[in-house]
Structure 1
Amino acid sequence: MDYIFSLILFAVVSSATPGPNNILVMTSGLNFGIKKSLPVLCGICVGFSFMLLLVGFGFGQVFELFPRLHTLIKISGVLYLLYLAWLISSSRDGFGAKEQSEPLTFLNGALFQWVNAKAWVVATGAIAAFTVSGSEFTTQTLILASTFLVISFPSVGIWLYFGSWLKRYLNNDTYRKWFNLSMSGLLILSILPVIGELLEQFG
């Protein structure tokens, strides 16, 4: 019972705290509303759970054999998220308004996990903390992925609702500009631990 409680608590905290997924969903909710943003929300939640399974069932071993591959993915993810932060902050009308006239799709949300530095940290940390090698490993990995799938919908979804709620208050260009700058700043803050880890690794 303690295992399940700890797992649920970890899933809630890691899913609901500010990070690239939540900022992406919140900004989509602001610009496109809840209904049109549901596909990207589903893509994020399903995509991360699938990522957990892959990390648990093989990617972890691949990274042990080729540690530079994991580092390369982290660097690519950080660079992409910094670009995303710039895109959000420099847009007058919301995330990617100049480049994006339609909301992100389910596939966009799912694929986004593979360049999301926080997602990699949470996935590898969850596998390390909540599974043990042996006969129960497969069952524990399935429980882990299923728990995140269930927990992530309300935890990430609240950010979508909040973004949609803010829409009525951010019609003013100045307010929206400050919102975009704030979201950009939060996005950068969310990947600072990964940047610090990379600097320490190469330092």
Structure 2
Amino acid sequence: MASGLNFGVKASLPHFFGICFGFPSMILAVGFGLGYVFERYAWLHALIQLVGIVYLIYLAWLIFRAAPRHERKSISKPLTFLQAALFQWVNPKAWIMGTSAIAAYTTVGAELYLQVLVLVFVFWLMTFPSAGVWMMGGVWLQRVLTNPVHSRLFNVVMALLLVASVLPILAELIAKYWR
């Protein structure tokens, strides 16, 4: 959404496609063996979640402090395809969704690889409309957020929502490792 808001559709397409291919590739890796690594070394999964939480809170801080779009002297560039694809690998929400889907929609001992491939294909198909709606929502907001006060309020609300989205993950980590 932020990319669509700040850069429009054309400039956001590499970011969009990075998400559309990065997330399913993460699901594929988890389904084809990374899940085994995380079962043996649970701390590694927790570390990736913690890094993701810290990064998302950092992004929330940047959003919170950002000047309204039309007041910025220079606008940075949107994420590249590779940056957006790699971001999926540190996004704790993506990890939770991916690992939960594999646990919920696969059956141990029954063509696991085929099940994972079907799951990856479904996620790949659904990521296009899902990420597209968010990007187009950002483009729509370009027209709405012309008032600096509204633009500032939007940044604050988005930052707070981003922080709120990681609180359940943080609570789960605390409950799991600091009992």
Question: Which TM-score bucket, shorter chain as reference?
Answer: over 0.9
Q: Kindly provide the CA deviation profile for residues 119-142 of structure 1, in whole angstroms up to 9, marking residues without a partner as x.
A: 010111011011112241111100
The verdict on how the C-alpha distance between 1:98 and 1:128 changes in structure 2, with shifts beyond 3 A counting, is farther
**1:160–1:82 CA distance, 2 compared to 1 (3 A):** same
Per the TM alignment, residue 169 of structure 1 is displaced from its structure 2 partner at its CA by: 1.8
Aligned to 1:199: 174
| Matching of residues 140-155 of structure 1 within 5 Å | 140-155=115-130
**Distance across 2 between alignment mates of 1:188 and 1:81:** 7
CA contact (8 A) 1:91 1:98 kept: no
CA distance in 2, matches of 1:69, 1:102: 32
Aligned pairs (5 A) from 1:1-203: 26-94=1-69, 101-201=76-176, 202-203=178-179
Q: How many residues align?
A: 176
User: 1 CA distance for matches of 2:118 and 2:134?
Assistant: 25
Structure 1 gap segments, 5+ residues each? 1-25
| Cα displacement (A) at 1:177 | 0.7
Distance 1:99 1:113 in 2: 27
Distance 2:8 2:121 in 1: 27
The TM-score with structure 1 as length reference comes to 0.83
How far the C-alpha of 1:93 sits from its partner, in A, is 3.3
Shift of 1:167: 0.2
The C-alpha deviation readout for 1:121-168, integer Å capped at 9, x for no partner, is 011101101111224111110000000000111012111111101101
TM-score (ref. length: structure 2): 0.93
Work out whether residues 43 and 108 of structure 1, in 8 Å CA contact, stay in contact via their aligned partners in 2: yes
- AA matched with 1:119: A
Amino acid at match of 1:73: I
C-alpha deviations, 1:1-48, integer Å up to 9, x for none? xxxxxxxxxxxxxxxxxxxxxxxxx01111001111111111012100
SS of 1:198 mapped into structure 2: helix
Q: CA deviation at 1:108?
A: 1.1
Question: Please, what is the CA RMSD of the aligned residues?
Answer: 1.5
Fraction of identical pairs, as percent: 51
